[in-house]
Structure 1
Amino acid sequence: MLLTITTTAAPATDLGFLLHKHPDKAQRFEQAYGTAHVFYPEADAGRCTAALLLDVDPVRLVRTRGRNVPDFSLGQYVNDRPYAASSLLASALAGVYRTAMRGRCDARPDLAAAPLPLEIALPALPCRGGPARAERLFAPLGWTVAAEPVPLDPEFPEWGDSRYVTLTLTGTVRLADALNQLYVLLPVLDEAKHYWLAPDEVDKLIRAGDGWLAAHPEREAIVRRYLANRRTLVRAALGRLADADDAPDDALDPVEDEAPTTLAEHRILAVLDELRREEATTVLDLGCGPGRLLARLLADTAFTGVGGADVSWRAVEIARRRAGRLGGDRFRGVFQGALTYADACFHGYDAAVLMEVVEHVDPPRLGAVEQVVFGDARPRVVVVTTPNAEHNVRYEGLAPGALRHPDHRFEWTRAEFAAWSGRVAAEHGYRVRHVAVGDDDPEVGAPTQMGVFTR
């Protein structure tokens, strides 16, 4: 099975840096079920193509399949797995391009963070539902989708089409995002996995789906098919996606007995309540993400001035569009900025909100954030929310010791948050009180903890 990735971003050979595979070398990587080869059919300054060829050994595959075997013995050896893209290719993708999927490239960090013109081709892809289904899954992610059905036999067109398509995706997308989307959607299109599902599959899905899956219009179908309709795992994954900052308001509705209000909604309501209680009229959302809180602030006329900031240009653009639709003189705009650097744009607000932000900051840089927010900007009110690590044991599918989100640098217990917030308040002349957000478990506390700083 074959996957090619092509770019025309000059110099195109920088694709080798992003994939951590040199264009002048052909490399091979042993897998449990065969061998993956990486090579470059073309590599010059104007156009560069990286090919991942997976050579599957049917005998070796049978030995690693465990319980997931076909119901007839010959089918274990005679099947489409050596030829058609599937979860086998997704697994090889994760192994061969692991660092690229994380968006890391020390040699070209700016390039790794930027969208690139890409063309991705899969000559034989199982796609139950045909070209229309491939369109539904990839088009919302910004891809132009060309999916051509493969006939059962070109010499006998009356036999109709097979369940395979030749898929070509073109678009301007960050390479790491493209790889993670393929990792999730290849087995979803095939509706099959070659390995037994374990609880850590939820963690893999959340990690690979970061930044795109929560807001995908087909998210529930994607989650169900990726997790093979395992009810417990599906419930856990949809719940965690609903708590993501980029999830739409209706992101969690997987089963009839699910709670009607998500944790993300609980957080927004709690923040709004505290801002009203402190009579804040101008509010700056620091780390605003795609602007869910901004939209709610602008919908409430009690807030006469609303602004936002985020380090991600993509989030800033989405937030601008979302908040801009509400418009009006109360909207002061959204700008790109890092919380570790003082900025005059942070000044002049009654209140600042850091909703699920501090846990994304490397601990050595937290001191800089504290100085920028509490020392330099110094609003009258600061609202901080962050996960309660003790509550993690209540999340089905979250491995012991794992963090709720792949980008979290840490998660505090209630005692750790109280110690941090007490120290920050004392050092900068604030008082702080703590609020539990979400269902308050008598043993492990609420899922989110909030500190309301006032001076």
Structure 2
Amino acid sequence: MILTVSYEPDPDSQADATALGHLLHKHPDRVQRFSAPVGDVHVLYPESSEKRCTAAVVLEVDPIALARSTRFRSDPGALGHYINDRPYVASSMLAVALGTVFRTAMTGRSDAFPELAAADLPLTISVPVVAVRGSEEDLVRRLFEPCGWAVGETVVPLDPAYPAWGASRYRSVTLRGRMPLARALRQVYVLLPVLDDTKHYWVSDDEVDKLERNGSGWLDDHPERALIARRYLLHQRALVEQAVEATDAAPRDRPLAAQRADAVLQALHDAGASSVVDMGCGPGALLARLAKDRTFRRIVGVDVSARSLETAARVLGLAQASDAERERIALRHGSVVYRDPSLADLDAMVLMEVIEHVDPSRLDALEDAVFGAAHPATVVVTTPNAEYNALYPGLRAGDRRHDDHRFEWTRAELRAWAEGIASRHGYRVSYRPVGAEDAALGAPTQLALFQREAAA
């Protein structure tokens, strides 16, 4: 797979096109190789002059590794891994490669050229072969033109030697426009898998945060925002409803996942916590927010999934972090239902959307591990409000928001559980709504803030 990004300054501009190397944080004079979960990624510059500079990203897919990987989402069937052209056209794999090699560029940070990084640049992005799946007409233009791109699109025939066979679902796409480089990269990162309407990896709650982060500054006003959310999140109803407005009666300015993280951070600040453990940290969405806040001098992420911890390490950039930062942030394999004496000296523990994934028979073990053994000064728990489910048009009575939820509590059920724990372990507990509140049914997420009496 290949994608090129070209920068050609206006003729009357004094800008040097080779500054593209600084904005991408990749030197034009070197061919660089990086390892990504989908294979090796090469970054090189086919042309580099003051007048025009082009960077190429080439993803060398490892089909054998993909066939062996449990993360790879191939088509059903025993031969799906072997008879498959999908890994060799632009798709979510190329998006992962872009996120791997241009992570800093996608934030818009450039110490050498800060003004250029923020400026609208004349850019051209070319993707020779991209998968376009589905019945939506003129999908490439519908997705990219509202972002400010002039779209050039050529349909790839199934076989040029046999025109009667007709067109394939592949396109050659060229985008030309003026915008900050970081925004352009984020748009391509999001919209490649949207065009393909699939991903090669399992989609979970952290994808909502990725969509919000990479959609910042352009997605909220996009006329196809709902379509983008559905396809990016693989039509998973609960995740889509977090990312877009669930009902006209309950609008959200930001996705619920982002509001939930905001509420957790506010609770931690209100409690005065400076060391935090995120239990069930998953791929690191909350950890990334904590890491940016220098208030927290020590951060620990714990999860039962080794794969999630590997992803969290990449999200946090621990391999490239300073020694001081690696001492500040630690990742550990563990479970919320088992005692871990090493967690007993932290100020706060967060269980964000965790308890509903625990079997009810194991809640006593969770209570013992968190409130008995660790016994932090502050515990923040968030969980869905089952009463609010009636406002989600796609949920039938009795349905849960996620297939892995073992239960979902009403507000009264959460209070009964929380107040029992508080009385047994010496805490006081308060409650906060998260998300747009309904007068009768409350907010979509409920937050319980436990504070140890001796520490209050």
TM-score, with structure 2 as normaliser: 0.56
- What residue is the counterpart of 2:22 in the other structure? 17
Which of 164, 168, 176 lines up with 2:174 in the alignment? 168
- What residue is the counterpart of 1:262 in the other structure? 251
1:145 aligned onto 2:113? no
Work out whether residues 42 and 58 of structure 2, in 8 Å CA contact, stay in contact via their aligned partners in 1: yes
Work out whether residues 391 and 447 of structure 1, in 8 Å CA contact, stay in contact via their aligned partners in 2: no
CA distance in 1, matches of 2:205, 2:118: 30
Which of 194, 197, 204 lines up with 1:198 in the alignment? 204
For the residue of structure 2 that corresponds to 1:186, the secondary structure is helix
Deviates more, 1:51-60 or 1:61-70: 61-70
CA drift of 1:63 comes to 2.1
Work out whether residues 206 and 406 of structure 1, in 8 Å CA contact, stay in contact via their aligned partners in 2: no
Residues 67 and 98 (structure 1 numbering): CA distance in 2 closer, same or farther, change over 3 Å? closer
CA drift of 1:30 comes to 1.5
Count of residues in Structure 1 that have an aligned counterpart in Structure 2? 284
1:199-252 CA deviation, whole Å, 9 max, x = no partner?
A: 1111111111111111111011100111111111111122xxxxxxxxxxxxx2
1:400-438 CA deviation, whole Å, 9 max, x = no partner?
A: 846899999999xxxxxxxxxxxxxxxxxxxxxxxxxxx
- What residue is the counterpart of 1:3 in the other structure? 3
CA distance in 2, matches of 1:399, 1:36: 23
Work out whether residues 202 and 398 of structure 1, in 8 Å CA contact, stay in contact via their aligned partners in 2: no
- What residue is the counterpart of 2:240 in the other structure? 234
Residues 154 and 117 (structure 1 numbering): CA distance in 2 closer, same or farther, change over 3 Å? same
- What residue is the counterpart of 2:432 in the other structure? 445
Work out whether residues 388 and 447 of structure 1, in 8 Å CA contact, stay in contact via their aligned partners in 2: no
Residues 387 and 62 (structure 1 numbering): CA distance in 2 closer, same or farther, change over 3 Å? closer
1:61 aligned onto 2:66? yes
Residues 131 and 8 (structure 1 numbering): CA distance in 2 closer, same or farther, change over 3 Å? farther
CA drift of 1:156 comes to 1.5
| Matching of residues 73-84 of structure 1 within 5 Å | 73-84=78-89
- What residue is the counterpart of 1:40 in the other structure? 45
**Unaligned segments of structure 1, at least 5 residues:** 239-251, 266-358, 361-385, 412-438, 450-455
1:156-213 CA deviation, whole Å, 9 max, x = no partner?
A: 2121100000000000011000110011100010011011112111111111111111
CA distance in 2, matches of 1:131, 1:123: 20
1:359-399 CA deviation, whole Å, 9 max, x = no partner?
A: 99xxxxxxxxxxxxxxxxxxxxxxxxx99834999xxx997
1:269-302 CA deviation, whole Å, 9 max, x = no partner?
A: xxxxxxxxxxxxxxxxxxxxxxxxxxxxxxxxxx
Work out whether residues 8 and 117 of structure 1, in 8 Å CA contact, stay in contact via their aligned partners in 2: yes
2:249 alignment partner AA: P
Residues 33 and 401 (structure 1 numbering): CA distance in 2 closer, same or farther, change over 3 Å? closer
1:135 aligned onto 2:141? yes
CA distance in 2, matches of 1:406, 1:151: 48
For the residue of structure 1 that corresponds to 2:432, the secondary structure is coil
- What residue is the counterpart of 1:186 in the other structure? 192
Residues 190 and 409 (structure 1 numbering): CA distance in 2 closer, same or farther, change over 3 Å? farther
1:149 alignment partner AA: V
CA distance in 2, matches of 1:16, 1:131: 37
CA distance in 2, matches of 1:28, 1:224: 33
TM-score, with structure 1 as normaliser: 0.56
For the residue of structure 1 that corresponds to 2:144, the secondary structure is helix
2:7 alignment partner AA: T
CA distance in 2, matches of 1:228, 1:404: 25
- What residue is the counterpart of 2:266 in the other structure? 389
- What residue is the counterpart of 2:320 in the other structure? none
For the residue of structure 2 that corresponds to 1:445, the secondary structure is strand
For the residue of structure 2 that corresponds to 1:444, the secondary structure is strand
CA distance in 1, matches of 2:3, 2:98: 9
CA distance in 2, matches of 1:48, 1:170: 15
CA distance in 1, matches of 2:236, 2:113: 40
Residues 405 and 226 (structure 1 numbering): CA distance in 2 closer, same or farther, change over 3 Å? farther
Residues 398 and 89 (structure 1 numbering): CA distance in 2 closer, same or farther, change over 3 Å? closer
CA distance in 2, matches of 1:11, 1:29: 27
1:94 alignment partner AA: G
CA distance in 1, matches of 2:290, 2:165: 48
For the residue of structure 2 that corresponds to 1:167, the secondary structure is strand
CA distance in 2, matches of 1:406, 1:132: 41
Residues 408 and 229 (structure 1 numbering): CA distance in 2 closer, same or farther, change over 3 Å? farther
CA drift of 1:57 comes to 1.2
For the residue of structure 1 that corresponds to 2:86, the secondary structure is coil
CA distance in 1, matches of 2:102, 2:201: 20
1:107-131 CA deviation, whole Å, 9 max, x = no partner?
A: 1111111110000000000012577
- What residue is the counterpart of 1:271 in the other structure? none
- What residue is the counterpart of 2:227 in the other structure? 221
Work out whether residues 87 and 93 of structure 2, in 8 Å CA contact, stay in contact via their aligned partners in 1: no
Identity of aligned residues (%): 48
1:295-347 CA deviation, whole Å, 9 max, x = no partner?
A: xxxxxxxxxxxxxxxxxxxxxxxxxxxxxxxxxxxxxxxxxxxxxxxxxxxxx
CA drift of 1:81 comes to 3.4
CA drift of 1:62 comes to 1.5
- What residue is the counterpart of 1:85 in the other structure? 90
CA distance in 2, matches of 1:400, 1:39: 31
CA drift of 1:74 comes to 2.1
CA distance in 1, matches of 2:72, 2:30: 38
Work out whether residues 72 and 200 of structure 2, in 8 Å CA contact, stay in contact via their aligned partners in 1: no
Work out whether residues 86 and 190 of structure 1, in 8 Å CA contact, stay in contact via their aligned partners in 2: yes
CA distance in 1, matches of 2:435, 2:71: 40
CA distance in 2, matches of 1:406, 1:157: 55
**Unaligned segments of structure 2, at least 5 residues:** 10-14, 255-260, 270-277, 297-387, 389-410, 416-429, 437-456
Residues 261 and 82 (structure 1 numbering): CA distance in 2 closer, same or farther, change over 3 Å? closer
Work out whether residues 32 and 42 of structure 2, in 8 Å CA contact, stay in contact via their aligned partners in 1: yes
